Amino acid sequence: MEWCLKQPKIELHAHLNGSVRNSTLLELAKVQGEKGVVVFADVEHVIMKNDRSLVECFKMFDLIHVLTTDHETVTRITREVIEDFAAENIVYVELRTTPKRNEAKGMTKRSYMEAVIDGLRSVDTVDVSFIPSDLNRENSSRYFASNDNGITRRRIFVRLLLSIDRRESTAAAMDTVQLALELRSLGVVGIDLSGNPLVGNWDTFLQPLLFAKDKGLPITLHCGEVKNRKEEVQAMLDFLPQRIGHAIFFEEQQWKQLKQSKIPVEICLTSNIRTECVTSINNHHFADLYASKHPIVLCTDDTGIFSTSLSREYRLAASAFGLGEMELFQLGKNSIEYVFADEVVKKSLREIFDSATPKLP
């Protein structure tokens, strides 16, 4: 575990509201309990519950959204999530979140994202590098950055993906794509389609996603997370997204197509097991994809919801699939090629990994 903690790592599938610390959720629930918005005793029980089915996860997200809906809280959770990732040596993270409107709080999708970006700015345990045009700064150093007082701090590269929730309409999804285009200069690098896989239709999102593609925004799709979505999985594969999340329930022919396409797959081991989308770690498709050298990235999905961390996911992969330090290191390093950030960032990441290459015994 210590080795997994120390290694530089790349996180490409992390939902902001799924990665909130339990301690923060409890604190927020207390405040909302005092205001009569929630009943603290009920909520405390739900937050501390460990095993959640997929359906329960989405109920939990609804609860989290009740607790986190104001600008200050969005800023706070973003700061804490980045600090937690940096603390376990994640050197690059693509944090995804669904821009939300909330008239009661005067929140628009844009102001929600501004609150997220304020969160990135407010991190002070590490140097957060998220503005792509800031090339000189990103170029000047890799692992460390000096502030104006000459104090040296570790650096984490952060990029943002805007999520479209499967409950949204075509028009709402289009607003999110437009917003992503407007916020490119503030670190937004792509679009994610996520949300409860039991609701919504692929057709609703096709037009906004085609528009995003046309504008050169990379796309990652949650694909095949639940059974009996043969047509949707097929349409998603034919769409040729830049990455795919989960990829669990595929037909034989679809596995072949995935492998031929070489579309990188974001693998979330604990999430898949906890939600019972995969029956046991021994049946996880990681093994097949890894053996066939398909591009894969180990990710957490929701560190808060599933009480995990990227280091734990690495350790789990090591113990379940017999990977040694060199294999884990190489798996992490390969992820560089699948990030949505530009070549300047990729070059810095390659240098970070090269300087951390394990010594052969």
Considering only 15, 109, 142, 294, the residue that binds ligand 6MZ (CB under 6 A) is 15
CA-closest candidate to residue 268, choices 200, 228, 230, 222 = 222
Q: Structure tokens of 151?
A: 């104090």
Q: According to the binding rule CB under 6 A, does residue 97 interact with ligand 6MZ?
A: yes
Distance from first CA to last CA of the chain, Å, rounded? 19
Q: Rounded distance, CA 5 to CA 319, Å?
A: 15
Q: Rounded distance, CA 206 to CA 144, Å?
A: 41
Non-local (6+) Cβ contacts of 22 within 8 A are 47, 48, 304, 307
Q: According to the binding rule CB under 6 A, does residue 176 interact with ligand 6MZ?
A: no
**DSSP code per residue over 96-149:** EE----BGGGTB-HHHHHHHHHHHHHH--SSEEE--TT-HHHHHH-SSEEE-TT
Considering only 17, 75, 204, 270, the residue that binds ligand 6MZ (CB under 6 A) is 17
CA-closest candidate to residue 111, choices 140, 71, 151 = 71
Residues 180-209 that bind ligand 6MZ (CB under 6 A): 194-195
Considering only 301, 312, 317, 333, the residue that binds ligand 6MZ (CB under 6 A) is 301
Is residue 114 among the annotated active site residues? Answer: no
Q: Quick check: 303 and 18 in contact, CB under 8 A?
A: yes
Q: According to the binding rule CB under 6 A, does residue 220 interact with ligand 6MZ?
A: no
**Contact string 265-294 vs ligand 6MZ (x = CB under 6 A):** ------x---x-------------------
Query: Cβ closer to ligand 6MZ: 303 or 335?
Result: 303
Q: According to the binding rule CB under 6 A, does residue 302 interact with ligand 6MZ?
A: yes
Continuous segment of H or E residues that includes residue 93: strand 90-97
Considering only 57, 86, 177, 289, the residue that binds ligand 6MZ (CB under 6 A) is 57
Number of residues that bind ligand 6MZ (CB under 6 A): 18
Query: Cβ closer to ligand 6MZ: 127 or 302?
Result: 302
Which residue is catalytic, options 80, 83, 88, 225? 225
CB of 325 to ligand 6MZ, least distance (A): 29
Q: Which residues are catalytic?
A: 225
